[in-house]
Amino acid sequence: MRLTLGELVRRILPPRILASWFLVTVAMTVTGPFSTYQQFGALGRLAYWALVLGVAILFCALAFYGVARWCAAHAFWLRLLLASALFTALFLPVQWIIMLALRGPVMGLGHMALVVAAAPLTLGLVKYLWLGPEVSWPHQSLPRPRILDRLSPENRGALLHLSVNDHYVEVLTDRGKSQILMRFSDAMCELDGVEGMQVHRSHWVARDAVQGSRRQNGKLFLLLIDGSKVPVSRGFQQAVTERGYLDASRRPNE
């Protein structure tokens, strides 16, 4: 799946995230936690916290985006722990360099690791307690599709794939798989706000669920982030190609 740099930035750093960075920077400048009130003047605190929080938010957003992109089929708590571990691995060395270069608040590496790891965990817990686990991760801000109301609460999440199974429609989200007794055409009418397309008479895929493509025995398949392969019928291949669902750079070699 192709994303321009601008689209990627808008996905991982929507306006509300930038507004949060500004507000938290002001709050940290005024309160001066971690001894920064004693170590820096007002402008020094503003510059220090703007830099630290800006880098932290960027890396946190990238960690959430990466985990949601590649581990969407896993449970919420596992994704949260993976995002926290990835964020800590990315941001801890940078924070250590910033602390030494700007002579910021001094703390041991172990203490700093705990503080750094707590940031995404706290964000995830707030999300879970206030919004629920079915709400999308920070880079997603799509309307809620009506079809989710037909699923059990524990399976309501980001839509990945719809397929036909006899008289049922199988709905795959990042929270699991469900079966609904309804027509496939009616199910596709309830995908409000989700970017995706029908690629076969029995299959629909969300754009964010596609990570590449493969040709096998002359047939074209889309590879989804949960590891499954979805066939693309000949009648849909041109539309799939024109809309950028095929990414040669991610196409595995046969």
Kindly tell me if the per-residue pLDDT of 73 is higher than 70: no
Are residues 228 and 180 part of one domain?
Answer: yes
Does residue 186 register a pLDDT over 90? yes
Written as one letter, the residue type at 101 is A
What is the C-alpha separation between 155 and 102, in angstroms, rounded? Answer: 47
- Indicate whether 9 and 79 sit together in one domain: yes
Tally of domains within the chain: 2
CATH of the domain at 175: 2.40.50.1020
Which element (helix H / strand E) includes 80?
Answer: helix 76-101
Task: Quickly state the pLDDT bin for 230 (edges 50, 70, 90).
Answer: very high
Structure confidence at residue 143 (pLDDT): 58
The overall average pLDDT reported for the chain is 79
Percentage of the residues of the chain whose pLDDT score is greater than 70: 77
**Are residues 214 and 122 part of one domain?**
no
Q: Quick: pLDDT tens for 34-60.
A: 778 888 888 988 988 888 888 888 888
**pLDDT score of 136 more than 50:** no
The domain containing residue 202 runs over which residues?
146-250
Q: Is the pLDDT of residue 14 over 80?
A: no
- 24-28 mean pLDDT: 88
Which of the listed residues 81, 97, 130 is the one where a domain comes to its end? 130
In-domain check, residue 141 = no
* Residue 64 sits in the same domain as residue 119: yes
CA distance 57 to 87: 10
Q: Is the pLDDT of residue 141 over 50?
A: no
Q: Residue 56 falls within a domain, yes or no?
A: yes
Q: What is the structure's pLDDT at 247?
A: 63
Evaluate whether residue 138 is within a structural domain. no
Mean pLDDT of 17-34: 84
135 belongs to a structural domain: no
* Contact between residue 8 and residue 61 where contact means Cβ atoms under 8 Å apart: no
How much is the pLDDT for 231?
95
If one compares 125 and 59, the residue with the highest pLDDT of the two is 59
Domain edge (last residue) among 130, 162, 188: 130
Domain boundary among 102, 130, 158: 130
Q: Report if residue 136 sits inside a domain.
A: no
* Comparison of pLDDT for 124 and 155, the residue scoring more: 155
Residue 13 and residue 119 in one domain:
yes
Residue 187: inside a domain, yes or no? yes
Angle at 212 between CA 3 and CA 10, to 5 degrees: 20
